[in-house]
Amino acid sequence: MKPLLTVEDLRVSFPTRTGLVEAVRGVSFTLGRERLGIVGESGSGKSQTGRAIMGLTPGHAKITAQKLAFGETDLLKASPKVRRDMRGRQIAMILQDPKYSLNPVMTIGKQIMETLRTHEKISSGAARDRAIAMLEAVQIRDAERVFKLYPHEVSGGMGQRAMIAMMLVCGPELLIADEPTSALDVTVQLEVLSILDKLVADRGMGLILVSHDLRLVSSFCDRVIVMYAGKIVEELPSADLANAKHPYTQGLLNCLPTLGTDRHPLPVLERKKEWAA
Amino acid sequence: MSDIVNSPEFSRRAWLLSDRPATRMQARLGRAYTIWSRFAENRLALIGLGIILALIFVAIFANVLAPYSPVQGDLRNARLMAPNAAHWFGTDDQGRDILSRLVHGSRLTLFVIFLVAIIAAPVGLIIGTVSGYAGGWVDAVLMRITDIFLAFPKLVLALALVAALGPGIENAVLAIAVTSWPPYARIARAETMTFRNSDFISAVKLMGASPFRIVLRHVMPLCLSSLIVRVTLDMAGIILTAAGLGFLGLGAQPPLPEWGAMIASGRRFILDQWWVATVPGIAILIVSLGFNLLGDGLRDALDPKEAGQ
Amino acid sequence: MTSALSVQDMLVTYDGFAALDHVSVEIPPGESFGIVGESGSGKSTLLRAVAGLATFDSGTLSVNGRPYGGKKRDKEFYRAVQMVFQDPYGSLHPRQTVDRLLLEPLVVHGFQDIDARIARALDEVGLGAGFRFRYSHQLSGGQRQRIAIARALIVEPKILLLDEPTSALDASIQAEILNLLEQARKDRNLTFVMVSHDLGVINHMCERLAVMKTGKIVETIPASALRNREFSADYTRQLLIASEGFSRTAS
C-alpha cells in the first residue's frame, strides 16, 4: 500500500542572533491511512515537524530532507502555489487554541465558506449549505445559529469543533492536529477527540496528532513516535507502550502522578546527554 | 584558532554575554551590551547617533570651533558676504559669521531639547503611570486634564504661554515642555494598563508593597523604553517648535544665535543672499533627521518583545 | 483548634454573574487541601478572593483566626499567606534579575540578612548561585516556577496558595516541581491550598479536596475517597472518567 506521507531525514533549522538553532534533526517516518501520534515536550521539535509538512515554517528557516513527499508530490520541490493549493484541499492542520487560530472579525460560517471557495468553484449558496452540513458533522446542534456567530461568542470546545469543520470541509486526505485539545477542559477534550475520531475513520483520512500528553496520544492513536531534542527516540504501536524500551519514554510514562499510583517523591526524568546526540 | 578564542575582545564579549552573571553589575552590563549590539546592527541608527554626538561635540567645543564671535559683527566690511574662504557660510546682515553663529547656536538647541525632555518626560511618566495603575476616578481626573492640554494645537498653546510670560528662550522652553507632556502621559498609561493585572504585579501586591512602591519600582521601569523612544522621536518636533517660536520673535531674543531666529532674520534676504536663511535651516534639518534615525534605532533595539529573545 | 483558613458563604459577582456562589471551606493548619474544577468553576476566583486580589461581596474570611474583608489585608496576612501563580512566564517581572525579585519581599517586610536569605532560598529550590543574577527571560519554565516558589517561601509563610502551579509545565518538569513543593511542605509544615484541573496532581498532593462547578462546591471529600471511588456527585464521576484518557468503546 502506498504511503500517504513519506518523511526521510527531515531537518529544520533557524538562524538566530546567537547561532543556528536546529529544531528538527533528521526525522524519518511514513504515514498511511492511520492515526500517528508525535509526542514530545517543549523544544522537542514536534510542532516544527508538523509545520514543515504543511509548509508553514517561517520564511527564514532552512528545511532540508532526503525525501518529503505527499503521495506522488515532492513537497520540497513544489512551488509555493502548488503548496498553497494543497493546504486545505489535501493536507489540513488544526491548531491549539481556537481563540487565536480563528479570525476574530469574521463569523464562523464565513470562515468555513472562505476555505471552500478558495479551493472550489462553487456558488455562495452551495458553499453555505456545505458549511452548515459540515458544522452538523462536527455535532454542533444549532448549526444555523452558530454559522452566524463570531469566534469569541462560542466556548472553547465549540470553537475547536468549528476549526475542525473549517479544516475538513474540502475533504483533505491528511490532517495534522497540533495539540488540538490542550486548551480545552478535560470533559470537553474527550468530546472533541471522539468527533475527530469518527470523522477520520469515516473519511479514511490519515491523522498526525502532535501532543505533549503521552497518555492521551497512546489511547487515541495507532502508532506513537516519541521525540526528544529534534530526533525520534522511539517509535512503537500504542498497544506496546508499557513495554517501551527507550529510557526517555519510560521516564515520561513514570513521572506522571495518577490515581492508581502512590509514589512519594515522583520519579524524576534524568536527562542523559546521549539522547540528544 | 586558539588565538581568536583567547583574545581579550572575545573573552570580554563572553563575559558580558555569560548566562551565569556573578554580580549585579555584570548582569546589567551584559544586558546593556545586548541592547547596544542590537542597536549597532542598524546602519541608519548609527548615523543618527553620530549626528547627535557631533552636535554635542560642537556644542561643548563651540568656543574653540567658532572662528569668529557669534554676536559681534563687522558691519563696515563684512555685511552679507557670500560663502568664501574667510567665512565658510558667509555673513549675515550684521556682518556676523554665520558658521560661528551656527556653532554657538547648537548650544541653544541642545539647551532647549534637554530641558524640555527633563521637564516633560518625568511629568508625563508620573501622571501616566499613576493614572493607569490607580484607575477609577484618579484615572478619569488625570486623563481629562491631559485631554485639555491635548486639545490645543501645540504651537498655538506654546504661543499663548510665551505671549503671557514674555518672550525669551527660558519661557519658550517652559511653554514647549507644558505642551509636550500629554502624549507621554498617554503612552505611560497605555503601557501601565497592559500589565496592571498581570501576575507579577499581583505577586508584588501580595508581598504587601505599597502602591507607591509598586508604581515607582515595578511599573515605571517597564514604561521607560517606549517613553525614551517617543521622546527621541519628538526631539525633531521640539526643535522645530523652538525654531518656530524663534522665527516669530517669541523665543530666543537677538543677538542670541538661535537657529530659528536666524532663519527669521534671514527671511528678508532669501532671494539674493540665500545662505543667511538656508544654512541654519539645513542645520535644523540634519539634527531633526539625526534624532529621527536615533529614535527609530532605539525603538528596534528596545522593543520589549525582542528584549526577551 | 483555629482553622488556618476559614471561608464562610463567600459570594463574588461580576456584573450580576456569580463567579463564587456561597462557597464555604474550612482548612485546618498543616493540611494540604485541593480544589478541582474546569474553567469557569470559580476555583481560581476563590484563591484570588482569599489573597485579596479579588473582592468578595458577602461572606466571611478568616486566616489563622483573624477576619479580613474586601481587598484590605495587613502585613501580618502577607507574612502568613503567599501565592504561586500558574503562568511561569507572567509571574516574574520581565526586567528584573532573580536577585532583585527575591530582594523585594525581604525589603518590604524589613528582613536584615538579605544576602544570606537569598542564597538560602535559591539553594532550597535547587538552583545554584549562578542563577542569582540572571534575568527572567534567561530562565526556562521550570526554573522560573522554582524562582516563583522561592519568592513565595522567602518570607516564611504558613499558608501557600497554589494556582495550577504546574499546568503550564512539561510533564517531566511537573514531577520535579511537585516533589519540590512536597518537600517544602514537609520541611516547613505548611498549609497548602492547591487549585488544579488535574485529578492526578490533586490526588498526589492533597489530603482533602473540593470539587467545584460553576461557582459552587459540588462536594468535599478526602483524597482516599477519590481513589476508592467513594464519592456521591455525578460531576465528580465525570471528571474521574475524563482523567482516564480517551476510550474508543465509550464514545
Q: Chain C contacts of B191, Cβ < 8 Å?
A: none
Q: What is the pLDDT of residues B180-222, one digit of tens each?
A: 999 999 999 999 999 998 999 999 999 999 999 999 999 999 9
Residue A26 counted as domain residue: yes
C165/chain A closest Cα distance in angstroms: 14
Decide if C177 contacts C145 (C-beta within 8 A).
yes
Q: Are C145 and C165 in contact (CB under 8 A)?
A: yes
**Amino acid found at C92:** L
- What is the pLDDT, as a whole number, of residue C187? 93
- AA identity, residue B264: A
Assigned domain for A28 exists: yes
CA distance B39 to chain C (A): 18
Quick: pLDDT tens for A25-66: 999 999 999 999 999 988 899 999 999 999 888 888 999 999
Q: Does the residue C88 lie in any domain? A: yes
Closest in B26, B199, B208 to C87, CB measured? B199
Q: What is the domain partition of chain B in residue ranges?
A: 1-40, 44-307
Q: What is the pLDDT of residues A107-119, one digit of tens each?
A: 999 999 999 998 8
Please state, rounded to an integer, the average pLDDT across all residues of chain C.
90
pLDDT level of residue B134 (50, 70, 90 thresholds): very high
Grade residue B7 by pLDDT with cuts at 50, 70 and 90.
low
CB contacts of A253 in chain C (<8 Å) are: none
Contact by Cβ (8 Å): A138, A175: no
Q: Does B24 sit within 8 Å of C155, measured CB to CB?
A: no
Query: DSSP for chain A?
Result: ---SEEEEEEEEEEEETTEEEEEEEEEEEEE-SSEEEEE--TTSSHHHHHHHHHT-S-TT-EEE-SEEEETTEETTTS-HHHHHHHHHHTEEEE-S-HHHHS-TTS-HHHHHHHHHHHHS---HHHHHHHHHHHHHHTT-TTHHHHHT--GGGS-HHHHHHHHHHHHHTT--SEEEEESTTTTS-HHHHHHHHHHHHHHHHHHT-EEEEEES-HHHHHHH-SEEEEEETTEEEEEEEGGGGGG--SHHHHHHHHTS--TT---SSPPPP---GGGG-
Give me the amino acid identity at B142. Answer: L
Select from A48, A28, A31 the least CA-distant residue to A206: A31
pLDDT for position B306: 45
What average pLDDT does range C117-140 have in this prediction? 90
What is the residue range of C192's domain? 5-243
Residue range C122-130: average pLDDT?
90
Whether the CB-CB separation of B108 and B115 falls below 8 Å is answered with no
For residue A62, how many other CB atoms are within 10 A of its CB?
12
A267: Cα within 13 Å, side-chain hemisphere: 15
Residues A127, A133, A134, A140, CA torsion sign: positive
Is the Cβ of B228 closer than 8 Å to some Cβ of chain C?
no
> ∠ at Cα A95 (C197, B195), nearest 5°?
65
Judge whether A61 lies within some domain.
yes
Q: Could you tell me if residue C248 is inside a domain? A: no
If DSSP codes are grouped into helix, strand and coil, which group holds residue B215? helix
CA distance A53 to C232: 48
Residue A114 belongs to a domain: no
* C133-159 burial: b if 16+ Cβ within 10 Å, else e: bbbbebbebbbbbbbbbbbbbbbebbb
Q: Is B305's pLDDT higher than 60?
A: no
List of chains touching B (3+ CB pairs within 8 A)? A, C
- pLDDT, mean of residues B268-272: 87
- Answer yes or no: is A174 within a domain: no
Q: Does domain B44-307 fall into CATH 1.10.3720.10?
A: yes
The secondary element (H helix, E strand) that includes residue C67 is strand C66-68
User: Among B11-25, B250-264, C91-105, which stretch is predicted with the lowest mean pLDDT?
Assistant: B11-25
pLDDT higher for B133 or C17? B133
What is residue B51's predicted lDDT score, i.e. its pLDDT? 94
CA C42 to chain CA centroid, Å, is: 14
DSSP letters, B166-195, are: -SSHHHHHHHHHHHHHHHHHHHHHHHHHHH
The answer as to whether A100 is a domain residue is no
Q: Does the pLDDT at position B307 exceed 70?
A: no
* Residues B83 and B205: beta-carbon distance below 8 Å: no
The pLDDT of residue C250 is: 45
Average pLDDT for residues A4-20, to the nearest whole number?
89
Q: What is the pLDDT at residue B168?
A: 82
pLDDT of residue A176: 94
Q: Count of domains in chain C?
A: 1
Instruction: Check CB contact of C220 with chain B, cutoff 8 Å.
Output: no
C186 is a domain residue: yes
Tell me, what's the pLDDT at A258? 83
Which three cell numbers mark A145?
445559529
B24 contacts in chain C (CB < 8 Å)? 97, 99, 133
**CA-CA distance, A208 to A31, in Å (whole number)?**
8
Q: Any idea how long chain A is?
A: 277
Using CA atoms, how far apart are residues B244 and A147, in angstroms rounded to an integer? Answer: 58
Q: Among the listed ranges A79-83, B28-32, B276-280, C205-209, which one has the minimum average pLDDT value?
A: B28-32
pLDDT at residue C249, rounded to an integer: 59
Residues of C in contact with B23 (CB under 8 A): 133
Task: Select the more confidently predicted residue: B169 or B103.
Answer: B103
Going by C-alpha positions, the residue among A48, A128, A50, A117 that lies closest to residue A89 is A117
Q: Mean per-residue pLDDT for B8-35?
A: 80
Q: Can you give the pLDDT at residue B6?
A: 60
In which element (H, E) is residue C163 found? Answer: strand C159-163
Q: Which domain, by its residues, includes A55? A: 1-81+207-277
Note whether B149 and B181 are within 8 A (CB).
yes
Q: Is the pLDDT of residue C145 over 90?
A: yes
Q: The domain that contains A225 carries what CATH number?
A: 3.40.50.300
10 Å Cβ neighbour count for B161? 19
Shortest CA gap B233–chain C (Å)? 23
Q: Residue B251 corresponds to which amino acid?
A: G
Residue A197 contacts residue A34 (beta carbons within 8 Å): no
DSSP assigned state of B253: P
Residue B309 has a pLDDT of 38
Determine contact, residues A44/A233, Cβ cutoff 8 Å.
no
CATH, residue C50? 3.40.50.300
CA distance C78 to chain A (A): 30
* Integer-rounded Cα radius of gyration of chain A: 19
Map residue B45 onto helix, strand or coil. Answer: helix
Q: Does A18 touch chain C (CB under 8 A)?
A: no
Q: What is the pLDDT of residue A277?
A: 75
Nearest to C246 among A193, A212, A267 (CB): A193
Q: What is the pLDDT of residues A106-150, one digit of tens each?
A: 999 999 999 999 888 999 999 999 999 999 999 998 899 999 999
Which stretch of DSSP H or E encloses residue C97?
none
**Which ipTM value was assigned to this complex?**
0.90
Are the CB atoms for B149 and B263 separated by under 8 Å?
Answer: no
> Could you tell me which residues come within 8 angstroms of residue C103 by beta carbon, excluding any fewer than 6 positions away?
C114, C118
Report the number of distinct structural domains present in chain A. 1
Residues 6+ apart with CB under 8 A from B147: B182
- Per-residue pLDDT at B5: 57
pLDDT of residue B37: 86
How far the first Cα of chain A sits from its last, in Å, is: 34
Three-state secondary-structure class, residue C69: strand
B22 has pLDDT over 50: yes
Pure H helices in C36-113: 43-51, 75-80, 98-108
